[in-house]
Structure 1
Amino acid sequence: MKIVRFRRGDDVGVAVRDGSGGIHPTGYRDLRELLAAADPLGILRRSLEGPAVMADRLLAPLADRCQIVSTGGNYQSHLAEVGLAPQEPVFFPKLWSAVLDPDSVLEPPRPESELDYEVELAVVIGRTMHRVSAAEALDYVFGYTVVNDVSAREVMRREPLQIMLCKSADGFLPVSEEIVTADEIDLDTTVVTCDVNGQRRQEAGVAEMITSVPRLLAFLSQYVTLTPGDVVTTGTPGGSLVGRPGLGYLTPGDVVTVAATGIRPATTTIGSGLWQVSA
């Protein structure tokens, strides 16, 4: 099933999308509330039997103020282009304020920002997860979406320890308009891609990850308790601009589309970054 979050007038809610694109409200305003219910999947199935509504706007489908954990260096092709060789999975937090709704304009924090794209499959947690094994990790997954882990490369070149500002500026996590439940995603055949202005820049199978999704979640859960609605992004393959300096960084008007098999793409337009400063 495909879960969306929508705005209709003054109302915001979680809905399930049918095969024709119709939006069927669940009666819940936030994903975390839905996941706290006794039978979330049953609620979604029953919601499909109800009437569809017209939405004014589709929003990022993530739980409000959820915990977002990002993974660095999980594809050999990306490690080769950045010259790193971590000995274990590497994680960093992504701030909620970085989340950007589908089909939005991303305004760089500064006009001279050197923006880079990174397509990543994102895991949405469905049950509280603490110190679980890799064998049971996928039992805790509610679904998957696709995100663009945007970076301002000049920030870390100026100060290598400044990962939060490099990765978590406002709008630096464009998200697909939908979460697809785990039963509909085959990690062995899922492919992630990134296109800029219609040209393919990144493409890789999720099976190429150095640390698989279940092993990644198990490792993280030894240190961090993940709760329903939390998100773990799983790393990006090679092809980002940090490893292709001849292409130049993203510029105003560029259209970036990240996609994963079975999940609607997330498309973002790069803005000018020319903010109006009030007196």
Structure 2
Amino acid sequence: MKLRSTPDGLIAHDEQRGRWVRLPGEDDLVAFLAEGQPARARATAALDAPDAETADPATATLPFRPRSIRAFMLWESHLIASSRMLVKHFFPAPMWRAVDAYEKATRRTFPKLKPTQGFYDHPTFYVANHTMVLADGQDMWSPSHTRALDFELELACVLARPLADATPEEALDAVGGWFVLNDWSARDVQADDARHNVFGPVIKAKTFANSIGCDVVTADAFGDWEQATGRVRVDGELWCEGGTAGPAHGLGAMLAYASRGERLDAGDVISTGTMPGCCGIELERWIRPGQTVQLEIDGIGTLTNRLSADATPTTAV
């Protein structure tokens, strides 16, 4: 079931009749997901009611306010390709010449571009800034601390119930719904953080903004998350396509690791990370103010933000 939040409450998509219907008495998407089957049964009844009240999907707002955001990195090819381009564009020239010469001579990946063993031993994530989340259709500002703003197409889920020291099986049962997420990134800052910051490359490079799509598809309706496909368009031009096949870790393992020694709760967001090839740095293409970036995941929907020339950060609508 596909859901949206509006100022007047939740609405659901009636695929059979091609319309959106208001769900009477439902105004909290996370609470709806947490209730599970009884809530979905009420929604199905509302969709089938002869007097169902149709709704305008264009009135959708941010679907929920994230309680927290944990962004994982699951694909080796994305890590290697983006690391290579960070070195090429933002590290001192001699470092890139060494990498380029080695790879051309050996036809192998430069060893330092490969993930460390920890990438394979356990899921890797960082904690994002959940207070700076933009809605679909909202302008993205021009961050004052970067000249290399980038997008990342990511499939994310929201938890519908608490987890603490969960097993992978217990963790999977807590997933409430899936949506599109854009993990905005400052690539020049990321390169500098990677070289000089003791906390690694995801400090000021990653904590200034994320965007969340207005469509949330319930976990029971979405299917296998490892078979998701998506694409990015900039000003209507297709820049890239990708998918989630072949992650280094499964979703249950990710959530179990995130809940180890701590409590996760309903409303916490888990992003599976950038689909390989679906960020500007891997493409060596750079977005700029005035352009419109649209992310899409099949079976869910789109997430669109226009880049503004305004350098003033804004909050979600």
Structure-2-length-normalised TM-score? 0.75
1:69 maps to a residue whose letter is R
Question: C-alpha distance in 1, partners of 2:161/2:252?
Answer: 14
Alignment check: 8 A CA contact 1:75 1:208 kept: yes
Aligned CA distance change for structure 1 residues 136 and 120 (closer, same or farther; 3 Å): same
Q: Give the structure 1 partner of residue 110 of structure 2.
A: none
Task: Establish whether residue 18 from structure 1 lines up as the match of residue 52 from structure 2.
Answer: no
Residue 271 of structure 1 is matched in structure 2 by: 308
Q: What is the letter of the counterpart of residue 168 of structure 1?
A: T
Alpha-carbon displacement from aligned partner over 1:222-270 (angstroms, at most 9, x marks no partner) = 244221222100011333233344x2x2101222121212001111111
Asked which structure has the greater CA Rg, the reply is 2
Q: Which residue of 1 aligns with 2:2?
A: 2
User: How far off is 1:4 after superposition?
Assistant: 0.5
1:98 is matched with which residue?
132
* 1:31 lines up with 2:68 in the alignment: no
Which stretches in structure 1 are left out of the alignment for 5+ residues? none
Residues 23 and 104 of structure 1, relative CA distance in 2, 3 Å threshold: farther
Q: Is the 8 A contact 2:62 2:212 kept in 1?
A: yes
Hey, what's the Cα distance between the residues in 1 that align with 2:60 and 2:291? 22
Letter in 2 for 1:226: L
**Does residue 186 of structure 1 match 2:186?**
no
SS in 1 for 2:41: helix
Q: Match of 1:208, SS?
A: coil
The answer for the alignment partner of 1:85 in structure 2 is: 115
Q: Distance in 2 between matches of 1:89 and 1:234?
A: 10
Alignment partner, residue 230 of structure 1: 268
CA RMSD of aligned residues (A): 2.5
Any idea what SS the aligned residue of 2:227 has? coil
Equivalent position SS for 2:204: helix
Which residue matches 1:261? 298
TM-superposed CA distance for 1:177, in Å, is 1.4
Deviates more, 1:117-126 or 1:249-258: 249-258
Answer whether contact 2:153 2:295 (CA < 8 A) is retained: yes
- Conserved 8 A contact 2:21-2:46: no
Give per-residue Cα distances to partners, 1:76-100, cap 9 Å, x unaligned.
2211111351423211112223211
Query: Is the partner of 2:144 in helix, strand or coil?
Result: coil
Q: Which residue of 2 aligns with 1:165?
A: 204
Structure-2 residue corresponding to 1:126: 160
**The 10-residue stretch of structure 1 (78-87 or 176-185) with the greater mean CA deviation from structure 2:** 78-87
Q: 1:52 aligns with which of 45, 51, 54?
A: 54
Question: What is the SS of the residue equivalent to 2:205?
Answer: helix
Contact 2:34/2:176 (<8 A) preserved:
no
3-state secondary structure, aligned to 2:302: strand
Q: Corresponding residue for 2:141?
A: 107
Aligned equivalents of 2:220, 2:40: Cα separation in 1? 11
Number of equivalent positions = 266
Percent of paired sites with the same residue: 26
Going from structure 1 to structure 2, the CA distance change for 1:155 and 1:136 (only over 3 Å counts) comes to: same
SS of equivalent to 2:191: helix
**TM superposition score normalised by structure 1:** 0.84
